Amino acid sequence: MSAFVIDAFEFCRNSGHREGVTPVAEMTRLAADCADKSGEIRWSIDGGLTKQGYPSMTLAVAGPVKLVCQRCLTPMDYEIDSSTMLVLGKDDEDADGIEEVLDDESIDVIVGSRECDIRQLLEDEALLALPQAPKHEVCPDTKLLDALKTEKVSPFAALKNLKSE
């Protein structure tokens, strides 16, 4: 069994802890959303129980990635820094019941597994931390963008030419 595959329920019951660093290049789904595959994601995962006694894991991911600015289409630096708590249910029905009891939108309830690959959970957390439309505060080179803005042609300009014929 891989070092990244855990029994999630046992991990929580024993207050397990794991941490490490994973290159962005090894997180294929995250790398696909980045301008390049450089950077590393620091991560930690802690097991425990909620106040109500439900098994829970707290995941934290942080690190620099390069995204494509949606305004100027050039690479930009972005710092991922995210943490979330996952509460584990035995099956869908159990997870739904836990969600009702907790009644907290900030906590995600998922179906746990005895063979849980924590790499998938960590990559999911990193992906959820990315902005939907990344943009520089101020784009470094706006010449192309400015040229597009100044070259506005009225959609009615062609009609004016037809009238004069």
Question: What CA–CA distance (Å, rounded) separates 116 from 4?
Answer: 8
Tens of pLDDT along 57-66?
999 999 999 9
Strands 108-111 and 75-89: parallel
The number of distinct structural domains making up the chain is 1
pTM of the model: 0.77
Tens of pLDDT along 77-107?
999 999 999 999 998 998 889 888 888 887 8
Q: Is residue 151 part of a domain?
A: no
Q: Is residue 149 part of a domain?
A: no
Q: Is 80 exceeded by the pLDDT of residue 16? A: yes
Q: Is residue 36 part of a domain?
A: yes
Range of the domain at 39: 5-138
Work out the burial of residue 129: count CB atoms within 10 Å of its CB; fewer than 13 is exposed, 13-18 middle, 19 or more buried: buried
Q: Is 80 exceeded by the pLDDT of residue 164? A: no
CA dihedral 71, 36, 58, 10 (to 10 degrees): 150
